[in-house]
């Protein structure tokens, strides 16, 4: 474990003063396993950092701190505690100070690991340990990270350096950093990971063969130490690519037999292998459409191969026509996932989970919630977020995404009346899903601080905490992360809290207005290019002309996308007067002089917000500079460098967007500010 502050992220284990001394004696660890060993290693790291001492470990029930699964601590638990543990999942745990003893127990050793990290978090936050009475179980069963890493060492949409898993066409030999990553993931409750890009290229196709499986087993062994189950992204055409079969048709008996044999081979080496993540028939990836089959046919074939081993197929719903004609206004990329998958409800096997992006497009700074989430009552579903800031500043610009994700999870779909929120749907509380949860695209790489911008660590931390407990507020999560990462100085905590909580809106202010999205530089997706995708094949249009801007997705005159929502959202989105301003141009094409609910015209809103966003970045910079004496030199300088980048980016967005729309509309800024 490296000792510098950037590398340690939120597991800094800063010195603690005035801790209850009698709790610093021996620690009883009642279980004896690989996860129990991880617990002792973590406690030793923490005790060294916080108290400059190494704890002694025993199995004696009388120690001041006792850690063990519920079966090991039966005599220390009362009937109410036992009953509560009986009612929650295997990952549920209890931390309680009673009878002058701190008791940490849970339903499994994985639960104990989460409990210990919970205890260490509370210690870093300054909680009075003798007042602890914590009962926790995760709301979401599957809490997953998707790595988009490639064997050559690159990371698709990676903004934090090269891969920590692969280098120069090989799996890395030194896996120390992978183990540290597993620690960080366990500390925020992540229990599953896929370790390769959903775009599975030629060589990565062989990950499911003996050429790579022995080394992948080593990675699985590391993650197992921290309760994280390993998955692999697979190439749907693997039978052709690997063994020269004539087809990958999911209904072909030889193809079915091939996948069953492959599953047996994988599980013989990795008995707790999670399963496959699949991107099929999307952006030129192979899939069942090639053979006239549908997505249920394709996923079920794989599910049958994995079923004897309790494996899962996570089938991504990011499927759309990516060779669209920009002249065609009837084809709507936003409609694609719903149109492809909704008719198949009830046709998928129980060990298939559909993974659906949070919005209908592609991780934009503002877009509506995907209407497909929850629309399929008989098909397992999970939501997909993107921690990597592909369209939200690429970990150069500060953009704390927890408020966005909270907004999505709290969205009430009304699919079964009021209270049918995304949060309840993906937790499996609305429909009879056998598997569900949350996945997110990772934002880590081989940079010393893991996330490119040190402040982007808050998004990884926040994702895990939110997946575990969606009731946590964005503010509470931010405060936890700040104190554990930078300490508890009041000015640091308050300044960073304000910056984080404002940053999503700030980024939106100086980029794409009113839900229109995109306007980014093609391919790189960083920086403005208002017409960069306007005449492309990708279906990412804003349709700005001299009269107005926006995409008509209404049922009366547009693409009919609004029909995919339940009432009252269908009527709200369809009515320009009822539609929320933040999404107005996603659903409507409107004149520049159309008046928003704020009382401003669309064009004035564009001008005002872009000027405001650039000013707000200057305020971020001033606040960060004011913290210099309270933050170590390396981290302060590194973040300052990123803020300078953000300043340049915000200025370009402001000036290019304002100039573009002034030249389109001919309408001047009411305040007479400089527009080029």
* Catalytic residue annotation: 283, 362, 390
- Between CA 179 and CA 249 the distance in angstroms is 38
- Between CA 626 and CA 610 the distance in angstroms is 25
- Between CA 585 and CA 550 the distance in angstroms is 4
Name residues whose C-beta falls within 8 Å of residue 173's C-beta, 6 or more positions apart in sequence.
Answer: none
Chain centre distance of CA 214: 29
Contact 509, 613 (CB under 8 A): yes
- How many C-beta atoms lie closer than 10 Å to residue 362's C-beta? 19
SS (H, E, C) 408-419: HHHCECCECECC
| DSSP 8-state code for residue 155 | B
Contact 201, 238 (CB under 8 A): no
- Between CA 419 and CA 414 the distance in angstroms is 7
- How many C-beta atoms lie closer than 10 Å to residue 323's C-beta? 9
Place of tokens 């094409």: 589
Contact 297, 288 (CB under 8 A): yes
Q: Provide DSSP, 461-496.
A: HHHHHHHH-TTS-HHHHHHHHHHHHH---HHHHHHH
- Between CA 583 and CA 373 the distance in angstroms is 18
End-to-end CA distance of the chain: 52
- How many C-beta atoms lie closer than 10 Å to residue 122's C-beta? 17
Contact 13, 49 (CB under 8 A): yes
- Between CA 212 and CA 196 the distance in angstroms is 12
- Between CA 583 and CA 368 the distance in angstroms is 7
What are the respective helix, strand and coil percentages of the chain, to the nearest 5?
40, 10, 45
- How many C-beta atoms lie closer than 10 Å to residue 607's C-beta? 25
């Amino acid at each position: 474990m490296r000792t510098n502050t950037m590398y340690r992220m939120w597991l800094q284990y800063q010195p603690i003063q005035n801790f209850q001394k009698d709790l610093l004696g021996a620690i009883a660890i009642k279980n004896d396993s690989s996860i129990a060993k991880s617990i002792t290693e973590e406690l030793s790291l923490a005790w060294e950092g916080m108290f400059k001492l190494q704890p002694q470990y025993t199995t004696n029930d009388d120690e001041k701190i006792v850690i063990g699964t519920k079966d090991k601590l039966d005599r220390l638990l009362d009937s109410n505690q036992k009953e509560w543990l009986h009612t929650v999942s295997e990952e549920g745990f209890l931390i309680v100070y009673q009878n002058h003893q701190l008791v940490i127990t849970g339903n499994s050793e994985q639960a104990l690991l989460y409990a210990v990290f919970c205890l260490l978090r509370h210690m870093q936050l300054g909680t009075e340990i003798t007042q602890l009475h914590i009962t926790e179980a995760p709301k979401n069963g599957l809490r997953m990270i998707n790595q988009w890493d490639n064997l050559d060492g690159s990371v698709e949409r990676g903004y934090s350096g090269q891969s920590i898993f692969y280098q120069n066409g090989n799996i890395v030999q030194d896996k120390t950093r992978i183990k540290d990553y597993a620690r960080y993931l366990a500390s925020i409750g992540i229990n599953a990971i896929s370790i390769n890009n959903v775009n599975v290229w030629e060589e990565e196709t062989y990950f499911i063969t003996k050429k790579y499986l022995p080394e992948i087993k080593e990675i699985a062994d590391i993650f197992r130490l921290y309760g994280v189950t390993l998955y692999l992204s697979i190439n749907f055409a693997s039978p052709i690519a690997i063994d020269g079969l004539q087809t990958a048709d999911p209904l072909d008996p030889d193809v079915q037999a091939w996948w069953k044999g492959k599953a047996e081979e994988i599980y013989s080496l990795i008995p707790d292998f999670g399963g496959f993540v699949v991107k099929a028939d999307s952006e030129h990836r192979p899939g069942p459409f090639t053979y006239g089959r549908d997505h249920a046919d394709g996923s079920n074939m794989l599910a049958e191969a994995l079923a004897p081993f309790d494996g899962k197929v996570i089938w991504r719903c990011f499927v759309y026509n990516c060779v669209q004609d920009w002249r065609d206004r009837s084809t709507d990329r936003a409609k694609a996932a719903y149109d492809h998958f909704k008719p198949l409800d009830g046709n998928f096997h129980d060990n298939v989970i559909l993974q659906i992006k949070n919005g209908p497009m592609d991780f934009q700074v503002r877009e509506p919630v995907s209407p497909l989430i929850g629309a399929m009552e008989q098909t397992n579903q999970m939501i997909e977020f993107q921690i990597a800031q592909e369209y939200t500043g690429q970990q150069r610009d500060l953009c704390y995404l927890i408020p966005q994700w909270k907004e999505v999870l709290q969205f009430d779909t009304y699919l079964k009346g009021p209270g049918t929120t995304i949060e309840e749907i993906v937790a499996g509380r609305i429909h009879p899903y056998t598997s569900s949860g949350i996945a997110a695209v990772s934002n880590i790489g081989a940079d010393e601080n893991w996330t490119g911008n040190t402040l982007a660590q808050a998004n990884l931390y926040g994702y895990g905490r939110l997946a575990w407990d969606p009731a946590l507020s964005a503010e509470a999560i931010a405060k936890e992360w700040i104190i554990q990462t930078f300490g508890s100085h009041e000015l640091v905590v308050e300044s960073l809290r304000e910056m984080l909580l404002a940053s999503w809106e700030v980024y939106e202010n100086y980029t794409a207005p009113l839900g229109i999205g995109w306007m980014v530089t093609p391919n790189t997706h960083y920086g403005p290019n208002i017409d960069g995708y306007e005449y492309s094949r990708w279906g990412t249009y804003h349709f700005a002309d001299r009269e107005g801007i926006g995409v008509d997705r209404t049922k009366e005159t547009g693409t009919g996308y609004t029909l995919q929502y339940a009432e009252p959202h269908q009527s709200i989105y369809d009515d320009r007067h009822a539609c929320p301003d933040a999404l107005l141009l996603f659903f409507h094409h409107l004149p520049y002089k159309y008046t928003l609910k704020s009382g401003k015209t669309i064009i004035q809103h564009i001008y005002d917000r872009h000027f405001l966003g650039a000013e707000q970045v200057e305020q971020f910079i001033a606040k960060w500079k004011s913290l210099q004496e309270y933050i170590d030199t390396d981290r302060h300088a590194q973040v300052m460098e990123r803020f300078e980048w953000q300043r340049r980016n915000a200025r370009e967005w402001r000036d290019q967007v304002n100039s573009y729309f002034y030249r389109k509309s001919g309408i001047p800024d009411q305040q007479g500010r400089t527009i080029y």
